[in-house]
A = this chain, B = another copy of it.
Amino acid sequence: MTQNILLLAGDGIGPEIMAQAVRVLEKLKSEGLDIAWDNALIGGCAVDATGVPFPPETLTKCQASDAVLLAAVGGPQYDTLPREQRPERGLLAIRKEMQVFSNLRPAVVYPELVEASTLKPEVVAGLDIIIVRELVGDIYFGEPRGIEVRQTENGSERVGFNTMIYSESEIRRIAHSAFKTAQKRHKKLCSVDKMNVLEATQLWRDVVIEVSAEYPDVELSHMLVDNAAMQLVRNPKQFDVVVTGNMFGDILSDAASMLTGSIGMLPSASLDANGKGLYEPIHGSAPDIAGKNLANPLAMILSVAMMLRHSLNKVTYADRVDNAVKTVLAQGYRTGDIMTVGGKKVGTVEMGDAVLAAL
């Protein structure tokens, strides 16, 4: 049965890197992979065309597909729009609508790119961790929220508020996802919370401990979020899989990805309860280099590999794409963001050529 993919190229460098991902898909299709794809709008380009960052038509197409591939959204021209129209609202909406609660963000250091890190080689060489971030709950979506004028001890003044909230069932499903991820790796899971201050995360810890009874083969530990931020800097290789809430996950996963020094190389997957997913590079839309054939398409191409593995169940194809990326790195091909001494500097399209050749 044909599997359907929805492509959301978005803004900035999005269309350029998506074009290289499509070349990979075309190649695999020509060899027998039974897929089809369609395109839709999200982010700034959607605002331009329809007035909203996540148009109903895009939602309908998401629902009709087996997996969604997203490049990047956003750009300076959209920063002054009203809140509801900003490109990142499109991101939050697609996550919520697709209920992709489990965001897998790998931070991997490729041997050829160790030097790109600001950390010492011995601290990051061989780094291979995954942050599992809960993606559709927490203070991102909690109510009540807003800015309003209230009477306080200082008289009448504006007050801004948001609600961090997690229910047992929300924690349970992300915990299962994280334990299963750990089972496929080195069987170590570290759950990050701030239970010494926040009740919402005390419940988080309690429920994660309850769920752990079902995964006796996984070694569970707990860490406070401030300590986790330190340990990522001090000794990131102590981790295998880290699981945490939406807000802490936003911060820690970005810190973790920057440890690698090459965020142009990092894909991500966001999965729903049935394994359907949204796949995107973790980097942004980089408007400053858009349209110049400078962007690194590898995180986008690695997102294709993650999609093949997690949603389409095509492990062999996934491995081939992953290996093709390793090959081009070993061959010395480098876009500007990952340039190393002695590397062969190439543009977006040439990097795509190299990957196709290596496939």
Contact = CB atoms under 8 A, between A and B. Distances in A.
Nearest to A227: B254
B167 A159 contact: yes
Contacts of A160: 165-167, 198-204
A168 B158 contact: yes
A251 interface: yes
Interface of A: 86, 88, 92, 118-120, 123, 139-140, 142, 145-147, 150, 152, 154, 157-169, 194, 196-204, 207, 225-227, 229-230, 232-235, 247-248, 250-255, 257-259, 263
Nearest to A149: B168
Contacts of A154: 167-169
A229 B251 contact: yes
Given A118-B235, A152-B169, A258-B234, A162 B159 contact: no
Contacts of A198: 139, 145, 160, 162
Of A118, A123, A160, A232, most buried by chain B (CB within 10 Å of CB) is A160
B166 A163 contact: no
B123 A161 contact: no
13 contacts: A86-B196, A139-B197, A147-B200, A154-B167, A158-B168, A159-B165, A162-B163, A162-B164, A162-B200, A226-B253, A230-B257, A230-B258, A233-B255
A36 to B, nearest CB: 34
A247 B259 CA distance: 22
A199 B162 contact: yes
Contacts of A232: 255
B235 A199 contact: no
Contacts of A226: 250-251, 253-254
A68 B288 CA distance: 50
Contact of A139 (B152, B164, B263): B164
A159 B166 contact: yes
Contacts of A257: 230
B235 A255 contact: no
A129 to B, nearest CB: 14
A265 to B, nearest CB: 15
A203 B83 CA distance: 13
Contacts of A235: 118
Nearest to A117: B120
Contacts of A119: 118-120, 233
A244 to B, nearest CB: 11
Nearest to A197: B140
Contacts of A152: 167, 169
Contacts of A204: 160
Contact of A255 (B120, B147, B230): B230
